Structure 1
Amino acid sequence: MNILFVADPLEVFKTYKDTTFSMMREAQRRGHRVSACEPRHMAWRTGGQVTAMVRDIELTGALDDWFRVSKEGPRALREFDAVIMRKDPPFDSEYFYATHLLEQAEREGAKVFNKPAALRDHPEKLAIMEFPQFTGPTLVTRRADDVKQFHAEHQEIILKPLDGMGGMGIFRVGADGLNLGSIIETLNQEGTTTIMVQRFLPEIAKGDKRVLVIGGKPVPFSLARIPQGSEIRGNLAAGGKGVAQPLSARDLEIANAIGPVLASRGLLLVGLDVIGDWLTEINVTSPTCFQEIHDQAGFDVPAMFIDALEAALAG
C-alpha cells in the first residue's frame, strides 16, 4: 500500500513526539510505502486531476536525518491507496482551500482521511455544540454584553478565539471581572469576531485530557496535559506536562457516544479534549499525543491507527 501524507514540511518534524512521524514509522514497518507533500504543493487544472509535487521517502531510523528521498515529482493523488491529511492548524483560508482540492481528489477516486468535507463541518471549538449533554456551560457570541452576562452568572470564565491552537489567545477572568472589557475588545475586535466563553473548570489542575478515538473506538489511555506553575493552560505547546492515564468511566461514556457518530462521517481520527467530566473541544484536523501515550503507557497507538486505516480501505 502506498500512503501519501499531506503535512507540514518534513524538515520541521520533532520526531521524538510527532504523531505523523509515528504513523509513517508504523506504516513503513508493515511494508507500506510512504510519500509526503505539503498543502501548497497541490494543484488542479481543467481537464486534469489534482496533483502534488510528492516526495517518496524512506525512514532511516536516525534522530536527525530521519528520512531520505528516493523519488520526487508530480503525482495524481488518486494514484495513492490512501491520502492522510495531517496539516497542523490553524484552520485558515489556505487550509480551507486545501480541503476543497482534497475533495476534488476524492471525486477522482482518492481515499482521503480525515474526510475533507468532515474537516470543514466540524470546526474544533464549535463541534461540541452538537453534544450539549457532555459540555459545561458555554457561550458563542460576538456581543460584549452577552459575555458580561455570562460572567455575572458563572463568575470565573475562560475566553478563547475560535481559530486558536495550542492554547493561544486563551484568557481566564475571575469573579472580580478584572480586565474583562479589555479582553473582550481584544478577542472580538469590536464585535467583528465570534469568540467562545466557557465556565472555568477547576479540574484543569488535574489536566486537560486528550482522549483519542480511532475508527470510532477510544484509545484506552488519555494524555492529561497538566498546567505548570501559574499557567492555566495545559496545552503542551504552552508548557503543560503530559501524563498518560487510563480513561475514566466518564471519558469512556463521552468517547463511546461521540466516536461512532464522527467515524460514520469520515473522521477516522478524532481527539476529544475533556476537563474533569466535561467535553471542551473536538479536534479533527491533526490530533496528536500518539507517542506520549505509547511511551508512557505502552499502548501502541500508531498500530491501532494503521489497523483502522487498513480496515477502512478494505471495507
Structure 2
Amino acid sequence: MHILFIADPLEQFKIYKDTTFSMMREAQRRGHKLSACVPQDLNWQRGRPVTAKVREVVLTGEQQPWFREDAVIERPLHAFDAVLMRKDPPFDAEYIYATHLLEQAEREGARVINRPRALRDHPEKLAIMEFAEYTTPTLVTRDPDAVRAFHAEHQEIILKPLDGMGGMGIFRVGPDGLNLGSIVETLNRHGAQTIMVQRFVPEITQGDKRILVIGGQAVPYSLARIPQGSEVRGNLAAGGKGVAQPLTEQDRRIAEAIGPVLNERGLLLIGLDVIGNSLTEINVTSPTCFQEITDQTGFDVPAMFIDALEAELR
C-alpha cells in the first residue's frame, strides 16, 4: 500500500511525540510505502486530475535525520492507495480550499481520510453543537451583550476563538468580570468574528482529557492534559502535563454516542476533548496523543489506527 501524508513540513516534526510520525513508522513497519506533501503542493488544472508534488520518503530509524528522501515527483492523488489529511489547524480559508481540492480528487478515485466533506462539516469547536447533551453550557455568538449575559448567569467562563489550536487565544474570566469587555473585543474583533464561550469546568485541574476514537471505537485510555502552575490551559502546546489513564464510564458513554456516528460520515479518526464529564471539543483535522498514550500504557495506538486504515481500504 502506498500512503500519502498531507501534513506540516517534515522538518518541523518533533518525532518523540508526533502522531503523524507514529502513523508513518507503523505503516512502514508493515511494508507500506510512504510519501508526504504539504497542502501548498496540491494542484488542479482543467483536463487533468488533482496532483501533488510529493516527497517519497523512507524512515531511517534514527533521531536525526529521521527520514531519507528518495525522490520528489508529481503524482495524481488517485494513484495512492490512501491519502491521509493530517494538516494542523488553523481551520481557515486555505484549509477549506484544500478540502475542495481533495474532494475533487475523491471524485477521481482517491481515498482520502478523514473525508474532505466531513472535515468541512465538523469544524472542531462547533461540532459539539450536535451533541449538546454531553457539553458544558456553551454560547456561540458575535454579540458582546450575549457574552455579558452568559457571564452574569454562569459567573466563571472560558472564551476562545473558533479557529485556534493548542490552547491559542483561550481566556478565563472570573465572577468579577475583570477585562471581559477587552477580551471580547480582542477575540471577536468588534463584532466581526464569532467566538465560543463556555462555563468554566473546575475539573480542569484533573486534566483536559483527549479521548481518541478510531473507526468508531474508543482507545481504552485517554490522555489527561493537566495544567501546570497558574496556567488554566491543559494543552500540551501550552505546557500541560500529559497523564494517560483508563476511560471513565462517562468517557465511554460520550465516545460510544459520537464515535460511530462520525465514523459513518467518513471520520476514521477523531479526538474528543472532555473535562470532568463534559465534552468541550471534537477534533477531526489532526488528532494527536498517539505516542504519549502508547508510551505510558503499552496500548499500541498507531497499530490500532493502521489496522482500521487497512480495513477501511479493503
Question: Which amino acid in 1 is paired with 2:116?
Answer: P
Counterpart amino acid of residue 186 in structure 2:
T
Identity %, equivalent residues:
75
Aligned ranges for residues 244-283 of structure 1 at < 5 Å? 244-283=244-283
- The answer to whether 1:19 aligns with 2:19 is yes
Cα displacement (A) at 1:276 = 0.2
Any gaps of 5 or more consecutive residues in structure 1?
A: none
State the 1:221 CA deviation. 0.3
CA deviations 1:132-161 (Å, max 9, x no partner) are: 110010000000110000000000000001
Aligned to 2:125: 125
Q: Which amino acid aligns with 1:25?
A: R
Structure 1 stretches of 4+ moved >3 Å: none
Cα deviation 1:202-221 (Å, max 9, x = unaligned): 00000000000000000000
Which residue identity is paired with 1:250? Q
In structure 2, distance between residues paired with 1:93 and 1:149: 31
Q: Paired residue for 1:196?
A: 196
Residue 56 of structure 1: SS of its match in structure 2? strand
Query: TM-score normalized by structure 1?
Result: 0.99
Partner in structure 2 of residue 141 of structure 1: 141
Report the CA distance between 1:38 and its aligned residue.
0.8
Post-superposition shift, 1:71? 1.9
Aligned residue number for residue 50 of structure 2: 50
**How far 1:223 moved relative to its partner?**
0.3
1:307 alignment partner AA = D
Alpha-carbon distance in 2 for matches of 1:35, 1:179:
48
5 Å-filtered alignment, 1:79-228, equals 79-228=79-228
Query: Post-superposition shift, 1:189?
Result: 1.0
Structure-2 residue corresponding to 1:231 = 231
Distance 1:174 1:272 in 2: 26
Equivalent-residue separation in structure 1 for 2:260 and 2:13 (angstroms): 31
1:261 to partner: Cα distance: 0.1
SS in 2 for 1:131: helix
Work out the number of aligned pairs and report it: 314
Cα RMSD, aligned residues only:
0.5
Structure-2 residue corresponding to 1:241: 241
Q: Distance in 2 between matches of 1:306 and 1:140?
A: 36
Query: Within 1, Cα distance between the matches of 2:74 and 2:188?
Result: 42
For residues 42 and 235 of structure 1, the distance between their equivalents in structure 2, rounded to whole angstroms, comes to 31
Q: Could you say which residue in structure 1 is the equivalent of 2:6?
A: 6
TM-score (norm 2): 0.99
For 2:136 and 2:17, locate their aligned partners in 1 and report how far apart those are by CA, in whole Å.
31
